[in-house]
Structure 1
Amino acid sequence: MKIIKKIAAILIVIVISLGIASWIYFNSLKPTYNGEIQLKNTTKDVAVYFDEIGVPHITAENQKDAYLALGYVHAQDRLWQMELIRRIAAGRLAEIFGEKLIRTDKLFSGLGIEEASEKTIQNLDKNSEAYKMATAYLDGINQYIENGTTPIEYRLVGVKKEKYTLKDMYNVFGYMAFSFAIAHKTDPMLNEIKEKLGSTYFNELIGVEDKNLTLIPNEKNAEITGAFSEAMQNLTAVLPIAPFIGSNSWVIGADKTKNGKVIFANDPHIGYSQPSVWYQAHIKTPNYEMYGFHLALVPFPLLGHNKDYAYGLTMFENDDIDFYVEQNNPENENQYLYKNEVLNYKKIEKRLKVKDAKDSLYTIKVSKHGPLMNGIIDQLQTEKPIAMQWIYTKLENQIMDVAYEISHAKSLLDFKKGASKLHAPGLNMMYGDAKNNIAWFASGKLYNYRDSLYTKTFLNGSSGTDEILNYIDFDDNPQAINPISNYVYSANNQPDSIQNKLYPGYYLVEDRAKRIENLLTPKNDWSKEDVAKMLMDVTSPVIPEISKDLIAALDQRDFSASEKTAVVILKEWQGNFDKEEVAPTIYNRFIYEFQKNTFADEMQKGYFQFINTPFVEKVLPVQAKRENSVWWDNVNTVNKIETKQEIVTTSFKKAFQFLENQLGANVAGWKWERVLTVEHKHAVGEVALLRKYFNVGPFTTNGGDQVINNQIYDIDSTGYYKVKAGPSTRRVVDFSDVENSLSIIPTGQSGRVFSKHYKDQAQKYLNGEYVKMMLNQTEIKNSKNLLILKAQK
């Protein structure tokens, strides 16, 4: 009996010891929000107050110390995110995730991002403030790597920490620029349609580009002063870092607000992931203050505000990538022809490290237009050399200066100057200030080709006639300053004409733009609360029109009572995507069947790439209206030409049958919340055992594709809609009460799974709630958590 008691006592001691050890270990993995830490290379101590959602409020004697502190605290919350994003452009994901990422690594390492980063860094002005602050930020990150605790993901994946460099930082800019682009998802598909189906099919498709446009108006006034398709999609779909997709922003002038001051709103649409894409931080020094939203490894916020001005962005969606068919020298495959000259391809040798496998070696050929995709994308089944010309790698890169200058502007004109230096990616820069200025600038280097050239198919690389003729001066870019409408906005829609023509691009459908205009125009007493509510709006003004056009084509003579009920629900629908609505469920399945029965027979395998592009969303409202179309005929049926009525009726019946099998016979029970879910996925959450610990969700949610609260999903055969992207933050800055401005992010501030701020905003985000972006120093200094970064003597 004594032996049993001793064994039991020993076991209790072991269990307690293991419990204490586990508690100590897991607590060591949390960010440090209190106490003192020694920091090298600072001139004075830096105080970091962490507020109730984990946002650091950095108070320093100078900006260099502040940015060094920012690097440190950013790293302690988001080091793993930094690790992943720096590896993408460099082609180093297979090094930690294995052979399944080799093809993605080949793509990104072959785009020329690394080479462009190296060239840019060689030419940097090392005496500039932007350079000094950026290197201080990197110093802070690297000091955390030396002295801070290692995130658990490094141990789970089996990767060692490495210090960060300016090249890593510029590679992030390159990845961001490429993820904004749409051409690589659209141009190869359109080119294939033109080549394989012919001009009749092709011309009917591209004819939609000048239809159903809500144009962003241009208007410049004075400042107010008071002082490849499938391959590309498959390769980018596996990325562990979210791509940039769309966005909304509007800035309401003083004459349209209740309190007579500007109200600023912005919600960039980015792929959902965990951690969330933005890291919030507030810096205050004697001569500078900014509450900013930072990308991993980027010291200067792309979104921000202080008591003087607010700024943000949406994707411009201009065309800055073109594909060229080169003509090889028949006598030497390492040469190509250009304007009757023989030129040598530049060759770049690449080595990709692969976890648990041999290194992968390959060679990239580069023409005057850019790298050949044939050597980068294994699935590119063509003998024609296809080169990708990308403005990001073609022109001088001042993107660091852009980020620095827009976050350090002293006036609207300062901000415009910073925005003018952006060459790529194209961004709509949105601005509002305490002096009642509002503005929008379409930033990016725009250019002209010959008038008859259609640039969304492959261009002729050898003739010399398909080259850029000239670049457009920034003053001719689409923009508006203090317009007579008293508001500016962008929803990734087509800007009004420049140089007497609409600038080509991959602009999104008019749904969100039209809704924003419909809501903003009639109202002249906007408040912060009104704007916050508008960011959660889930109504499309366009979709009811599409439904109406399709319903008009239905042959309902043999419809059952339940089918007729479904038709009535669609007919009476106002286009709102609330959880309790039934119509969105019917509509999305109906559209899936309609597009499949219209396009799949001609496009065959290519249809699956076409179906979820922004381009098909522009085709849909036009196609729904058409009575006559070459696409109505099913090429697989013999001696029969299908009509619109047959296609639409068949599509509705198939949709109804599917939903009845999926959700039951009671049409009233087909609620949107039963098929729409969102989950914020972590890179290691793909392992089934770790999913519930690292992923956030799944949740039911409100919203739909192309409403203001944009919940972006693919439409496929499953009948379930897994939201993959949406508002990466919602921000409202009211200059009549700037210290109580509002924001929210999808999950939480910290990327450390054991932090209390890992997902503490998730439910508030779903509910349409907000948290305060604190600027008031008294409130900030009342924070419970204070970390002192001590200057080493």
Structure 2
Amino acid sequence: MPPAPRLPPRPTTPAAPRRRLGWPARIGLGLLALPLLAAASLAGAVWWSLPAAEGSLRLPGLAAPVAVSLDAQGIPRIAAGSERDAALALGWLHARDRMFQMELMRRGAAGRLAELVGEPALRTDRFTRTLGLARRAAADLATLPAETQDLLEAYAAGVNAWIAARGRFAAPEFLALGAPEPWRPEHSLLWGKVMGLWLSGNWRSELDRARLAPLLPPERMRDLWPEDASPGDPRVALDPAALGRLAAVLPRFPGLGTLPASASNAWAVAAGRSASGAPLLASDPHLGFQAPILWYLARIDLPDGRMLAGATSPGVPFLVIGRNASLAWGFTTTHSDTQDVFVERLAGPGSYETPEGPRPFAVIEETIAVRGAAPVTLRVRETRHGPVISDLEGMAAAEGSVLAVAMANLAPADTAAAGLHALNRAGSVAAARGAAALITSPSQNLMLADAAGHIGLLLTGRTPRRRAGDGTLPVPGWDGSHDWTGWVPFEALPHAEDPPGGMLANANNRVAPAGHPVFLGRDWFADWRFRRIAEVLAAQPKHDAAGFAALQRDTVSPFAQALTGPESLLRRLPPQPGAAGAAQALLLGWDGDVAAERPEPLIFNAWLRRLGRLALAEGGVPAGAWSANAGFLQRVLAPDGGGAAWCGGDCRALAARALAEAVAELQASDGPDPAGWRWGRRHVARFEHPLFRFLPVLGPLTRLEAATGGDEWTVRRGGPRGGEGPESWVDVHGAGLRLVVDLADPEAALAVIATGQSGHPLSPHWSDLLGRWRDGGMLRLGRQATGPTTRLELRLQ
């Protein structure tokens, strides 16, 4: 075959010269790329801070390998060979999922929040440094039993193993803040110090009384505090204006590092009132909402059938609320009066008067580091009664005097950690008595049920004995006339075990029966939640776990029923015109169910809020000096006109005015027709990151919300934020944990928390329990999880 013909070469066009970017363009592109690179690097770092879902790692300090299985919700089952190994593993898990929450707790208690957030936290830091929570926790550690100290040390070792391995990747917040400091055993005791502080606030009530006593006649003081008949010591004259300034510098919710007024529910029925033939127990503590929630669910299995299942709190190596193999427990706050304000007379520039003569103040110099500003030096003075709180405002209580506060939760040798440790080990109500006696702070009602069929309600915490007075007003400190003389013996407190009716309940109502020789205090929460719980329990001969869980979500308000019922003042008001009349008709036809999908709860709560403010202003109470509570509102709305002094002589007219103003305000935010309003549209449970909530982008991105029913007076408590405007109805306080135990099932507890197990906003467990919590679902904390699990193996170093 002849060769193919050769084609002539194809003509070519000369290549265009390549244009190179000049240096200004290159710099410009580089500058444009820098934000993208920074964003990508930040995203990678945040992703890297997510903990691994499974794997195997070596953990220093273990005596034997520990197996951890994580269920589909991230709830761990810990199988350990000893209590110490379990505590070490729990410390590692708490740090893995909630290290920043733990960091905020210890910094808040130690007065070191300003190091993170700057001057906005100075008020809280000054307060906690003045009280000396960190100093006292460190001193308490040495007084604890050796076995409790050993468990605290093991827990700290687990936390530190996570910190050492991850550094600033221990949680996403530390990417900006730097690696957390090592955890020390006394840091776990700070949790109890914080709870003791925020769950016992009687000293503030004393200051409120002292502020208002010179301004109001005695009969109005008795309306604000119905059982307050004490005129106070005439030698103690306090300046209301100075007390108002002191109140302004004290931390208050929802400020950083604070909690709202506390409340909780717990109840139990004996075997004879249980469908399963074994006791039942329910517990749902009410604290401020945050993301993540305070609680962390876990189950621990030890050799010989020992187990723990329920709610832990990151920072603490013990089960706080839950069960072991044969005992279940929960807590409510007693609200005993365990704090007193003393007026101390000065005896010179550096001393104060005592019955034995002048004594120098104990002085502690505190330096508070402040992010972005110069350090602040705080000079803390302490008396024989306690720290001087009037120094916070730089005030003198009266000429030549200062205010000091005595708090049972600040007393030395606090053994609450040993008590909780013993409670975790107790196998019966009888054995729990010894544990309860060790829980020195805070003052709590401990609800119990055991597998042998017993139930009990035991009071914990130190209750002071006073030489004189009832602790309702500040008292002289210079002469010893009102000094504390010791603590009420544990056995003398009003405990209850195996009552004839087979039922026990508490919802922060008064626990001491009439005529009981031990004085616990004069200020108690209204008992509306308790009444509803008792009503439901009494209505059925037998109960089961599902019924207990339903009662925890109950939104029927006996308080609303009383104020809108046949004998109420509301029914004596003349028909109102327009939208106010439509709202009035809705209230008159309402059954008192504070359901999210109903308009009446919004009308009712807005009406009472407006009425309370109008009545207090009419009665001469300065704005912000006191908030209307259920007892006061009942007094104002009494059909017999007993509250006329607060209404300008006519409470019907004031109630009508309050209704009209409340309806007008709601029309501006929720539309013209009251029938179209919905409680759940305004009453939204909100869970926010403690720091990110202050940032314009991260705050909304990390916020969790759920429309909820209930209010201050329902079993399903939903405490509004307060203040003015639509945001004032946001639900910020309630049951972040619900737990139910049927002791007929030896293997499990039913529980749910409001957010998720993880404190990492990008984790699937940041918010995966919110819907279940909102809708009333529960999780079974059995030995074996239902559904898919992942496994972690913690091995010996």
- TM-score, shorter chain, exceeding 0.5: yes
CA offset digits 1:611-650 (Å, max 9, x no partner): 26xxx2332223321745577357xxxxxx5422332222
Q: What is aligned with 2:50?
A: 30
1:276 corresponds, among 290, 293, 301, to 293
Q: How does 1:64-143 map to 2 (within 5 A)?
A: 64-125=84-145, 128-143=146-161
TM-superposed CA distance for 1:267, in Å, is: 0.3
Asked if 1:789 corresponds to 2:794, the answer is: yes
Asked if 1:367 corresponds to 2:383, the answer is: yes
Separation in 1, partners of 2:674, 2:701? 36
Separation in 1, partners of 2:466, 2:191? 30
* SS of equivalent residue, structure 1 residue 177: helix
Q: Which amino acid aligns with 1:580?
A: E
TM-superposed CA distance for 1:519, in Å, is: 0.5
Structure 1 residues 313 and 461, CA gap change in structure 2 (3 angstroms): same
TM-superposed CA distance for 1:110, in Å, is: 0.7
TM-superposed CA distance for 1:140, in Å, is: 0.5
* SS of equivalent residue, structure 1 residue 463: coil
Which deviates the most, 150-159 or 389-398?
Answer: 150-159
2:761 corresponds, among 747, 753, 777, to 753
* SS of equivalent residue, structure 2 residue 297: strand
Q: What is aligned with 1:225?
A: none
Separation in 1, partners of 2:643, 2:558? 28
Q: What is aligned with 2:657?
A: 650
Q: How does 1:76-225 map to 2 (within 5 A)?
A: 76-125=96-145, 128-148=146-166, 150-155=169-174, 157-207=176-226
Separation in 2, partners of 1:617, 1:107? 30
> Are the counterparts in 2 of residues 536 and 709 from structure 1 also a CA contact under 8 Å?
yes
> Are the counterparts in 2 of residues 107 and 377 from structure 1 also a CA contact under 8 Å?
no
Asked if 1:706 corresponds to 2:713, the answer is: yes
Q: What is aligned with 2:694?
A: 686
Asked if 1:574 corresponds to 2:591, the answer is: yes
Q: What is aligned with 1:215?
A: none
CA offset digits 1:192-212 (Å, max 9, x no partner): 1112324232233222579xx
TM-superposed CA distance for 1:580, in Å, is: 1.8
Q: What is aligned with 2:80?
A: 60
Separation in 1, partners of 2:429, 2:646? 55
Separation in 1, partners of 2:670, 2:586? 16
Asked if 1:559 corresponds to 2:576, the answer is: yes
> Are the counterparts in 1 of residues 228 and 522 from structure 2 also a CA contact under 8 Å?
no
Separation in 1, partners of 2:518, 2:57? 58
Asked if 1:768 corresponds to 2:754, the answer is: no
* SS of equivalent residue, structure 1 residue 196: coil
Q: Which amino acid aligns with 2:598?
A: E
Q: What is aligned with 1:742?
A: 750
Asked if 1:668 corresponds to 2:653, the answer is: no
Structure 1 residues 584 and 236, CA gap change in structure 2 (3 angstroms): closer
> Are the counterparts in 1 of residues 323 and 749 from structure 2 also a CA contact under 8 Å?
no
Structure 1 residues 642 and 70, CA gap change in structure 2 (3 angstroms): same
* SS of equivalent residue, structure 1 residue 544: helix
RMSD of Structure 2 on Structure 1 (CA): 3.0
Q: Which amino acid aligns with 2:674?
A: V
TM-superposed CA distance for 1:400, in Å, is: 1.2
CA offset digits 1:50-104 (Å, max 9, x no partner): 1111111111222222211111111010100010000112110001100111111
Which deviates the most, 66-75 or 471-480?
Answer: 471-480
CA offset digits 1:9-39 (Å, max 9, x no partner): x99x999999997776444222223111111
TM-superposed CA distance for 1:362, in Å, is: 1.6
TM-superposed CA distance for 1:302, in Å, is: 1.2
> Are the counterparts in 1 of residues 575 and 581 from structure 2 also a CA contact under 8 Å?
no
> Are the counterparts in 2 of residues 107 and 235 from structure 1 also a CA contact under 8 Å?
no
TM-score by length of 1: 0.89
TM-superposed CA distance for 1:308, in Å, is: 1.4
Q: What is aligned with 1:223?
A: none
Asked if 1:48 corresponds to 2:68, the answer is: yes
Q: Which amino acid aligns with 1:67?
A: A
Structure 1 residues 550 and 346, CA gap change in structure 2 (3 angstroms): farther
> Are the counterparts in 2 of residues 491 and 513 from structure 1 also a CA contact under 8 Å?
yes
* SS of equivalent residue, structure 2 residue 588: helix
* SS of equivalent residue, structure 1 residue 339: coil
2:416 corresponds, among 379, 391, 399, to 399
CA offset digits 1:263-316 (Å, max 9, x no partner): 111100010001110112221121432114222211011112133121111111
Separation in 1, partners of 2:34, 2:391? 58
Q: What is aligned with 1:218?
A: none
Q: What is aligned with 2:443?
A: 426
TM-superposed CA distance for 1:742, in Å, is: 1.6
Structure 1 residues 651 and 550, CA gap change in structure 2 (3 angstroms): farther
> Are the counterparts in 2 of residues 492 and 508 from structure 1 also a CA contact under 8 Å?
yes
2:475 corresponds, among 453, 459, 473, to 459
TM-superposed CA distance for 1:553, in Å, is: 6.2
Q: Which amino acid aligns with 1:54?
A: G
Q: Give structure 1 stretches of 5+ with no counterpart.
A: 5-9, 211-227, 635-640
> Are the counterparts in 1 of residues 49 and 172 from structure 2 also a CA contact under 8 Å?
no
Which deviates the most, 563-572 or 404-413?
Answer: 563-572
Which deviates the most, 308-317 or 242-251?
Answer: 242-251
Q: What is aligned with 2:466?
A: 449
* SS of equivalent residue, structure 1 residue 775: coil
Structure 1 residues 109 and 235, CA gap change in structure 2 (3 angstroms): farther
Q: How does 1:260-339 map to 2 (within 5 A)?
A: 260-287=277-304, 288-329=306-347, 332-339=348-355
Separation in 1, partners of 2:408, 2:582? 52
Q: What is aligned with 2:488?
A: 472
Q: What is aligned with 2:10?
A: none
CA offset digits 1:528-563 (Å, max 9, x no partner): 111111110001112221234995267755731543
1:358 corresponds, among 366, 370, 374, to 374
Separation in 1, partners of 2:258, 2:643? 40
TM-superposed CA distance for 1:758, in Å, is: 0.9
Q: Give structure 2 stretches of 5+ with no counterpart.
A: 1-14, 20-28, 230-242
Q: What is aligned with 2:232?
A: none
> Are the counterparts in 2 of residues 279 and 295 from structure 1 also a CA contact under 8 Å?
yes
* SS of equivalent residue, structure 1 residue 610: coil
Q: Which amino acid aligns with 1:402?
A: G
* SS of equivalent residue, structure 2 residue 576: coil
Separation in 1, partners of 2:491, 2:750? 33
Q: What is aligned with 1:721?
A: 729
TM-superposed CA distance for 1:135, in Å, is: 0.5
* SS of equivalent residue, structure 2 residue 278: coil
* SS of equivalent residue, structure 1 residue 608: coil
Asked if 1:589 corresponds to 2:606, the answer is: yes
Q: Percent identity?
A: 22
CA offset digits 1:322-370 (Å, max 9, x no partner): 11111112xx132222237222221111111111111100211111111
Q: What is aligned with 1:216?
A: none
Separation in 2, partners of 1:381, 1:354? 29
> Are the counterparts in 2 of residues 231 and 380 from structure 1 also a CA contact under 8 Å?
no
> Are the counterparts in 2 of residues 588 and 715 from structure 1 also a CA contact under 8 Å?
no
> Are the counterparts in 2 of residues 254 and 436 from structure 1 also a CA contact under 8 Å?
yes
TM-superposed CA distance for 1:766, in Å, is: 0.9
Q: What is aligned with 1:245?
A: 262
Q: Which amino acid aligns with 2:442?
A: P
Aligned length: 752
Q: Which amino acid aligns with 2:200?
A: A
Separation in 1, partners of 2:130, 2:111? 8
TM-superposed CA distance for 1:448, in Å, is: 3.2
Q: Which amino acid aligns with 1:91?
A: G
Structure 1 residues 304 and 572, CA gap change in structure 2 (3 angstroms): same
TM-superposed CA distance for 1:44, in Å, is: 1.8
